[in-house]
């Protein structure tokens, strides 16, 4: 038996190309929780957990993820069969509630290590890729209309993105809507425009705003109302001329089931971190497909490791009706991989090597990790 021998974790702080404004937080840098899993045969796997804005977005922060991996998950998995992912993850589920970001990092690292041993890509371990690349939307989040238009024009010229999401909800609705309308008018039919409200509106505001946004040509409206109010989301979805997407409302497979049963949204955002890993997110995807719900490959603004883990999972799906948003590495000025992800012709291309298909740049990792020293979490 090849057993799990060691887990090493560290926090990695990477600068962003610009401030990234959301309804609840403005991101000035991104902190990754990097997990390196070592097995008894010497094989290793990488995993990543990344949140948005510390505790501003979700109930896990980089610091809590690292602590829980070190203190609770590591003792549960060390000595376990590294090839039996079902048994390992079930063992974790029985003893650790929630903490899906930490679980996602662990599941990714297990899959990466298994892929290294077997010479198979992570997508192949998940059943096989049916797409070699995923079209990627770009988020315009400077909050400045002229800057956002110029940024979108540059992305179109570079053939990097032709779908654009606008982060709104922090300002007065009328001001936000005017901002979106101006950008859509400038881009015209050359690009699609979507919005993400990040739960900022009441039901009444959402009903009026969705109509105005649809009239302006906005194609998709993400999580306009608070995540817990499923009935409000369903009522807004029923009356909105533009499709509404559930995002924060999905934090587990039971959440997805409840939303599907309530007919709360015609589109679901898929995020490996919020459901507990690449295998876990595919359960949500398959449930949504069975219910006739469209799919969108979401992001927690992960770095390259988390982004490619998501891409491997999403590439096994026959289609992503609303494409993906896996642009996280492009928001960062630095990378910790030898070869960063490849974006070309509006797509993120999947690596072809075993596991995730990536290699760490150890020197750059040493420079950007918060502790700047080797951290041994646990040994067998």
| Residues with active-site annotation | 167, 325
3-state SS string for 179-190 = HHHHHHHHHHHH
Q: Rounded CA gap, 127 and 283, in Å?
A: 13
DSSP characters over 150-188: HHHHHHHHTTS-SEEEEE-SSS-HHHHHHHHHHHHHHHG
Question: Helix (H, G, I), strand (E, B), or coil: what is residue 205?
Answer: helix
CA 211 to CA 164: how far, in whole Å? 19
CA distance linking residue 278 with residue 282, whole number of Å = 7
The three-class DSSP label of residue 116 is helix
Give the chain's length: 380
Residues 6 or more apart whose CB falls under 8 angstroms from that of 211 comprise 240, 241
Cα separation, 247 vs 31, whole angstroms: 21
- How would you write 248-311 as a 3-class SS string? CCCCCHHHHHHHHHHCCCCEEEECHHHHCCHHHHHHHHHHHHHCCCEEEECCCCCCHHHHHHHH
What strand order describes the sheet that includes 267-270? 138-140, 163-167, 192-196, 220-222, 244-246, 267-270, 294-297
Rounded CA separation 55/162 (Å): 31
Name the burial class of residue 292, with classes exposed (0-12), middle (13-18) and buried (19+) by CB atoms within 10 angstroms of its CB.
exposed
CA 77 to chain CA mean position, Å: 25
From the number of C-beta atoms within 10 Å of its C-beta (0-12, 13-18, 19+), residue 252 rates as middle
């Amino acid at each position: 038996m090849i057993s799990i021998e060691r887990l090493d974790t560290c926090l990695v702080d990477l600068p962003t190309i610009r401030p990234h404004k959301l309804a609840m937080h403005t991101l000035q840098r991104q902190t990754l929780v990097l997990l390196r899993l070592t097995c008894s045969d010497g094989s290793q796997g990488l995993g990543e957990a990344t949140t948005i804005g510390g505790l501003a977005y979700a109930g896990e922060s980089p610091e809590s993820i690292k602590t829980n991996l070190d203190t609770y998950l590591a003792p549960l998995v060390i000595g376990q069969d590294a090839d039996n992912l079902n048994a390992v993850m079930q063992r974790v589920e029985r003893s650790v509630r929630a903490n899906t970001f930490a679980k996602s990092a662990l599941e990714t690292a297990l899959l990466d290590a298994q892929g290294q041993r077997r010479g198979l890509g992570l997508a192949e371990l998940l059943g096989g890729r049916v797409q070699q690349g995923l079209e990627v939307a770009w988020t315009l989040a400077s909050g400045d209309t002229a800057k956002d238009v110029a940024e979108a024009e540059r992305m179109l010229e570079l053939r990097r993105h032709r779908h654009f999401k606008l982060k709104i909800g922090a300002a007065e609705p009328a001001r936000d809507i005017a901002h979106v309308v101006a950008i859509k008018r400038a881009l015209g039919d050359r690009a699609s425009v979507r919005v993400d409200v990040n739960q900022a509106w009441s039901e009444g505001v959402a009903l009026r705003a969705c109509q105005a946004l649809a009239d302006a040509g906005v194609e998709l409206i993400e999580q306009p109302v608070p995540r817990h109010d499923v009935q409000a989301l369903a009522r807004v979805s029923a009356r909105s001329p533009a499709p509404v997407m559930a995002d924060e409302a999905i934090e587990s497979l039971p959440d997805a089931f409840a939303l599907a049963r309530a007919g709360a949204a015609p589109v679901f955002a898929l995020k490996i971190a919020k459901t507990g890993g690449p295998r876990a997110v595919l359960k949500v995807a398959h449930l949504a497909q069975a219910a006739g719900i469209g799919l969108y490959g979401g992001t927690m603004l992960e770095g390259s490791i988390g982004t490619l883990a998501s891409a491997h999972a999403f590439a096994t799906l026959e289609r992503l009706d609303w494409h993906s948003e896996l642009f996280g590495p492009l928001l960062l000025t630095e990378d910790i991989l030898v070869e960063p992800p490849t974006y070309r012709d509006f797509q993120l291309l999947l690596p072809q090597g075993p596991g995730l298909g990536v290699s760490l740049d150890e020197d750059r990792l040493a420079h950007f990790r918060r502790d700047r020293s080797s951290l041994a979490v646990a040994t067998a």
